[in-house]
Structures are given as structure tokens and as C-alpha cells.
Amino acid sequence: MSGRFNFDSLRDFISHLEMAGELVRIKERVSPSLQITEITDRVSKSPGGGKALLFENVDGGEIPVLINAFGSVKRMAMALGTDDVNHIADDIDRLINIKAPGSLSDKLALFPTLFRMTRFPPKMTNEKTPPCQEIIHTGDDIDLLKLPVLKCWPQDAGRFITLPLVITKSTAGVRNVGVYRMQVFNGRTTGMHWHIHKDGASNFDDHARVGHERMEVAVAIGCDPATVFAGTAPMPPGLDELLLAGFIRNRPVKLAKCATVDLEVPSCSEIVLEGYVNIGERRIEGPFGDHTGYYSLAGDYPVFHVTAITHRKNPIYLTTIVGKPPMEDCYMGKATERIFLPLIKAVNPEIVDYDLPWEGVFHNCVIVSVRKRYPAQAQKLMSALWGTGQMSFAKMILAVDEHVRPDDYRAVARELLNRVDINDGLVITQGVLDVLDHSSPKALHGSKLGIDATLPLQGESKGESESWAGRSLDSFQSACSNDDSIVAHDIPFTDVNSPLAILSIDKKEPFEAFEISRRVIDMDASGAVRIILVVDKDIDPSDYSVSLWKFFNNVDPARDLRRENGRLIIDATKKMKQEGHPRQWPDELDMDDSVIKKVNEIWPRLGL
């Protein structure tokens, strides 16, 4: 293993963060309702992600709150026991590419790798009193309201546990560890928000199918960092996330038997909630300010009943907030992207590299560089990815040639705008979408966009031959300036074959994005702009990151992309019902002015 650190508990990690200058202890009294979110959001959006924050004086109790622990490239690597998460990917690559030994020396050389693999599975602790059960509350002593659970955003339905490791088993005894938000309803019950596509929901359905009345659940909060990360990882169904944690840690995760349910939890956990969900019971859960930067809507979800709360002496509450990127989850997602690259390449060997931009909130955009050998290989790869695990949620896939780095967004943009074939190079299809996607007319499924920006091989279309680079922008600029509906506009590149313009419009009526774009096109005498992206009036079109975030989140490709005389218009505005969007459009996340004012007042005392 290439790592330099190993942590047996969250406390070990905190100590290391502090020694490395990566932790700020905040002694100022703060509220878990919105104030911690506002403070953390500012820190998360500072250059590099800021520091990890340990709030030691939280209203309503004595339990400190740790947040933003994984919120930087450096801390994410530290959490996984390395100075570069790519080292873990290299380890996985070596394991999945083991060749059959041909000689005695080859066999001997293979022993260390095979021995290491046998050390990964979790094992039961032999401790008489595991740390997570130093204190046990059952019966009338159970009170979830004593935990410093955050209310994250103003329109949230209540307080949500946001970084729990939810442990369930199928009827065959196969364990799943997943991170699913939990709305605290009262002192003894929470919501259990496992999405329909997730393994926790699959286990729930499994128990329902065989006629069980309830399913036992255990929730571990504040485990060692590798185990926390493993709970967020997109493991294939049936593979234990604790196996991945052991691989990263280079030693097994120690488990303790729960006090009131027949499940095991990491013995190092700071806090454990034990209980069950009734198969036939549902309750309205949400809304909740989610990682898309919008509120996910309320819906019916199972109810978790707590039968015990166990914890360490003087426990620490680990949590996170999500919202408009960048935030802490962005760094966790990037680590997942890197670590799982070898597994994706093993199935799709033409992949050189890939990138999931923050603006695409990890399930809305995939940029992939391809080593092409035959015609339509990029399209074949898109189909393969849309049929692979959580990659199936990807709403947009952009393929570029192998020499292009997918994380070099400026280079990718140039490749796209130089090579896109508006008439024949856009693949629009249908498939599953993430539960949180709000752009599709229907929940859980909708249209997808594939763009092949690779160089054509023999037998493939040459694409559009005429370049629009360098044409006069005067008439286009004049058209934008003279149209009262256009608040602002920006043209990122002019020296590409297909120049793009971003228009911010004051939309009042259905389909105005297309109507306004057509007006501008009609007045663009020199044909200077080939692609127009339209956003709402509150968006600065020169802020390319926010404009892309709107594009990835607000566009249903089949409905919102239109070709007009060799040009492409993309409507990334908020949709009205008359535009073919019958569902409720969620609000964006914004903090209350009163909370912002309060945080401004205490900010000088926070030590940030």
C-alpha cells in the first residue's frame, strides 16, 4: 500500500488533522439550525476547500460537531491513508490485472498480493466492551433530540442526519452499508431516505417480497474515515463496502454486535442507532437541500424506529452539508472517481481517463477520453456506460480523443466546439435518471445526451466542414444589446469552429428562451455564433461554472435542445408547465438573511 497513515477511529483522524494544521476548533456558541451550515458553506467555498471544523460549543447539548473533515484534496487523501488517492487506484489496478503465474518465481512473487487480499474482510472484535457501546440508552432513555443534528437549509422539513452509515442485510444475509439521509421526526423515529436505485432500498424490497413485517437496521455515525468513505462508494451489488474499507485501511474493520438488533457495526463508531423499519409504514419526508444545489421534494419513505442509542464516552458527531458546488461532498466524489477508474477501464478498455465535473453534481455529466480503433466506438462506449451501475444515471456523456485530459475543461471545451457536429453528432436517448434530477418531465427516467467530439476515423462522418471562427461579432453583440429581454451575454471562445454564446434572459413566458434566441440569430448577419446557451436572469453568463451547473441540472435534452438552420439552441432556464414540465420545479438553496447577518457578527470570533 502506498499510504502513510492508518486510522482506527475518527478520533485518530481528528488528531492527525490537528497536527497537520488542517483542523480549526471553534469555541464560539453556535446553533445547529442553519448557523453551522452558513459557516461551513463559506469555508467550503474558500480556495482549496478550507479547513475541517470542530464546533465545540453547540446549542442544545455537549456533543461537538465535526464537519468538512473530507473537504479538500489533501484531507481526502489523508482520510484514505495516502498522500494521493491515485495510489489506491493503482493498487486496485494491480489486483484486477493479476496475470496467471508462469514460473515458480512468478508464483512466489504473487504470494504477498494474495496474502494481502485475505486480510480485507471485516472481523468481530474481541473487546468485552467495544468503544461504540461504552454508553447504552434503551427504553425511555432514547432521545434523538439530544444529538446535535443539523437543520441545513431554510426550507428543510426539519433536522437531518446527513453522514450516517446505514447498515442492512438482505434475506440471504448479504450486508449493505450506504449513506442515506435521515430526517429526525421525534426522539425515537426518523425517515429512511434510501433511493429506489440503492442497495438499501433493494434489501427493503427483498424483505417485503418474502412477507417480512420489518427489517432491522443499524446506523453508525462517526467511524474511521476509510469506512465512512466506503459507505459512500458505488460498490457493485452484493459486495460488502466494509471489504473496500479494509482494502483501503490495509487491515480489517473491527465489528461489534449490536445490543438490540441482529446486526454488526464498526466498533470504533462514535454513535450508533439501532432499530427497524416496518415494511408497510411510510411517512412524508423532506424537502431537503440537496447536493444538486436545489431542494429535493417531499415524498413517502420508510420510518426508522430506534430501539437503542449507543455511543462512546464524550462522543463526536460527524456530519456534512450539501448544496451548490463546491462543497465537502465534491472532494469525496472526486476520490471515488479516481479510485473506481480501474474497475470501469477493466470493463471498457478503450477508456483512457474520465472526469465527473463538480458542476454536473457527479451524476449529470461524464467526460471520457477514448482510445478509438473503429467507427462508432465512442457511441458504443456511451451505451456501455449508460448500462453500468451508477454510471447509468449519467445524463450527459462527452467523448474526446485519448490525448485530451478530461479534467482540463478549457481544452475539453475547445475540442467540443471545434469538433461537434450539430446536425449528426448529438446522440439523444432515454434511460434511468437519478432520483434528484428535476429537469425531466417524469421522475426517475428521461432523456440523455451523448456528444462525440473525437476525430472521425475512416468510415465515420467528417462532420461540419465550415468553420465560423473569426467572424465579426458586431451584429450579434448589437442584437443582444438592443433586446430588452437579454440581461447580459458572454462569448467564451471566438476562435473555434462553433462559437458559443451564453445569454441571460428575463424570462416571463413559455418558450421565450427559443424565441429570444431566434431573434438574435435573425439579426446575426455574419453568422458569428453557432451555439446559444440560455440561462435565467439571475445568472452571470461570464461565470462559466454556474452557467454549466445550470446546463447540467436544468436541461432535459429531448425537450430543451433545438436545431435551427445549422445552429443549436439550449434552454437551461427554469421550466414552466406549459413547456412540457408538469412536475414541481424545486427552489435553489439560499440562506436566510437573518442567519447571514448573525454569522457576519460572530465571524471575527470563529478563528477562521
Catalytic residue annotation: 290
Helix (H, G, I), strand (E, B) or coil at 114: helix
Q: How far is CA 605 from CA 14, 30, 317, in A?
A: 22, 11, 22
The helix (run of H) or strand (run of E) holding residue 513 is helix 512-523
Decide: 256 and 282 in contact? Cβ < 8 Å: no
Q: Which of 472, 456, 443 is nearest to 556 (CA)?
A: 443
Running DSSP on this structure, what letter comes out for residue 203?
A: H
Decide: 516 and 528 in contact? Cβ < 8 Å: no
Decide: 440 and 408 in contact? Cβ < 8 Å: no
User: What whole-number distance in Å separates Cα of residue 391 and Cα of residue 229?
Assistant: 18
Cis bond leading into 287, ω under 30°? yes
Tally the residues of the chain. Answer: 608
Cα of 38 vs its chain's centroid, Å = 20
The DSSP-derived string for 260-295 is SSS-EEETT-SEEEEEEEETT--EEE--EE-TTSBE
| Count of CB atoms situated within 10 Å of the CB of 396 | 18
Cα of 56 vs its chain's centroid, Å = 28
Q: Which of 599, 496, 513, 602 is nearest to 555 (CA)?
A: 513
Tell me the pairing of strands 135-138 and 303-311: antiparallel
Q: Which of 234, 229, 217 is nearest to 279 (CA)?
A: 217
